[in-house]
């Protein structure tokens, strides 16, 4: 049975680590992805990186609705992802499950193409714009230890962090 995992909350130093490449795509990884999926839905996230549930491996998931699917579809899984093309510029307020209550304006590429491996071990590419493109860049940042508050100056960061509610996910 898939279970809801505790979410790692800022300022946990784990969130600053660079996640490691995944070499084996096996049943352990597949059941971990199921746990990630129920955790993402339980916390109302659009996406979730493994490091946010304490596993520093290069994998993140995105809810299928963000890519035009329905909640009944499987979550989108990106193993060892990299952005191979990006164009344009965009900016919007972003939040993060690891920074509950915090929202800051983050500059992103408008359109990106991501290359990753799926749970069957196949490499694929996906082009995205809008919220999906932002989600790719946000989750990829997590795999490199980068957070949304890194995109604002010290004064705005301090203001934003005043809203941090570190107890939000204690009960999971």
Q: Which residue has the tokens 């998931």?
A: 61
> In the complex, which residues of this chain contact Zn ion (CB under 5 A)?
96
For residues 35 and 24, give the distance between their C-alpha atoms in angstroms, rounded to a whole number.
18
For residues 114 and 95, give the distance between their C-alpha atoms in angstroms, rounded to a whole number.
21
CA angle, 2 then 99 then 55, to 5°: 40
CA 149, 38, 51, 19 dihedral sign is negative
Q: Which residue of the chain is nearest Zn ion when measured via CB?
A: 96
Nearer to Zn ion, 99 or 116 (CB): 99
Q: What is the token pair recorded at 102?
A: 């915090």
Nearer to Zn ion, 8 or 96 (CB): 96
CB of 98 to Zn ion, least distance (A): 5
- Pick the closest to residue 32 from 17, 16, 53 (CA basis): 53
Beta-carbon count within 10 A of 168 CB = 15
For residues 153 and 131, give the distance between their C-alpha atoms in angstroms, rounded to a whole number.
24
Nearer to Zn ion, 25 or 138 (CB): 138
34 is catalytic: no
CB of 44 to Zn ion, least distance (A): 13
Q: What is the token pair recorded at 11?
A: 């300022």
CB of 77 to Zn ion, least distance (A): 17
Nearer to Zn ion, 96 or 104 (CB): 96
Active-site entry in 63, 82, 87, 139: 139
Active site residue ranges: 139
């Amino acid at each position: 049975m898939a279970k809801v995992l505790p979410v790692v909350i800022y300022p946990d130093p784990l969130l600053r680590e660079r996640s490691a490449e995944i070499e084996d795509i096996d049943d352990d990884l597949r059941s971990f992805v199921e746990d990630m999926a129920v955790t993402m839905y339980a916390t109302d996230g659009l996406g979730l990186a493994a490091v946010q549930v304490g596993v520093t491996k290069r994998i993140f998931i995105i809810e299928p609705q963000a890519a035009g699917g329905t909640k009944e579809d499987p979550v989108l899984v990106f193993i060892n992802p990299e952005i191979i093309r990006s164009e344009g510029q965009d900016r919007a307020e972003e939040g993060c499950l690891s920074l509950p209550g915090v929202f800051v304006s983050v500059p992103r590429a408008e359109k990106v193409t991501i290359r990753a491996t799926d749970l069957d071990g196949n490499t694929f590419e996906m082009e995205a714009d809008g919220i999906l493109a932002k989600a790719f860049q946000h989750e990829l940042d997590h795999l490199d230890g980068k957070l949304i508050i890194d995109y604002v100056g010290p004064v705005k960061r301090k203001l934003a962090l005043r809203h941090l509610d570190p107890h939000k996910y204690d009960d999971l």
